Amino acid sequence: KAGVTQTPRYLIKTRGQQVTLSCSPISGHRSVSWYQQTPGQGLQFLFEYFSETQRNKGNFPGRFSGRQFSNSRSEMNVSTLELGDSALYLCASRGPGRVDGYTFGSGTRLTVV
Amino acid sequence: GESVGLHLPTLSVQEGDNSIINCAYSNSASDYFIWYKQESGKGPQFIIDIRSNMDKRQGQRVTVLLNKTVKHLSLQIAATQPGDSAVYFCAWKTSYDKVIFGPGTSLSVIP
């Protein structure tokens, strides 16, 4: 059974640009969550999608957005990139009927220069 | 962003000894708690979980203890091995079904 797949693994962008990250959850998982991980702030919750609807949202500015498709794949977008957006962006999926923790992907390392 | 803590504690243990990693959580209404292990270059990996109606749960070489009175969670690793070296995060589910992570503890195993 394939795990959570995130693409790309590494990305370098310039300030002011926008970026789109992709996440394919485990087959059958309908819940996808996104986290930002930085050395100074730890793991911060961005948002969660379930059946194409945003179910929860963290305290991030509107430059951070996401969506989920009918096949449960999810994308997150960051517009007008800032240096402080450099981080590891992690996607996690959760299975149906289980109140359990998430299965994480390996993340996308975004560097803003 | 929603974050907990800015400082990453570190713990060094001798190979073969037991490790205890502690975590203080903030949400008294949480009913579900999880421990994750994150190795360098990888995403967090589920280790063990516990519901709020329990105070102890055991897995393979790991035990999680929950003290709801003081909002404290601990992870015990028996006979620590070099492969246990990683950053360990506790996490808890909020009333809105979000999973919030603690600041993490870096475990270093000395051969």
Q: Do A45 and B1 touch (CB under 8 A)?
A: yes
Q: Do B43 and A106 touch (CB under 8 A)?
A: yes
Pairs of CB atoms within 8 A across A/B:
74
- Who's near A91: CB < 8 A, 6+ residues apart? A4, A6, A21, A23, A25, A32, A33, A34, A35, A74, A76, A104, A105, A107
pLDDT of residue A40: 77
Min distance A67 CA to chain B CA atoms (Å): 17
Chain A from 48 to 107: CB within 8 A of any B CB = 48, 55-56, 58-60, 90, 92, 99-107
Of A42, A99, A103, the CB nearest to B101: A42
Q: Name every chain A residue with its beta carbon within 8 A of the beta carbon of B73.
A: none
| pLDDT tens, position by position, B63-108 | 999 999 999 999 999 999 999 999 999 999 887 778 889 989 999 9
Of B6, B49, B96, the CB nearest to A41: B6
pLDDT of residue A47: 94
- Who's near A108: CB < 8 A, 6+ residues apart? A6, A7, A8, A9, A10, A11, A21, A88, A89
Q: Do B91 and A101 touch (CB under 8 A)?
A: yes
Of B1, B96, B102, the CB nearest to A36: B1
pLDDT-flagged residues of chain A (< 70): 1, 97-101
| pLDDT tens, position by position, B47-58 | 999 999 999 999
Higher pLDDT, B15 or B99: B15
Nearest CA in chain A to B34: A101
pLDDT of residue A101: 67
Q: Do B43 and A99 touch (CB under 8 A)?
A: no
Instruction: Indicate if the pLDDT at residue B1 is higher than 50.
Output: no
Partner B contacted by A40 (CB < 8 A): yes
CB atoms within 10 A of CB B68: 15
What share of chain A has pLDDT > 90, as a percent? 83
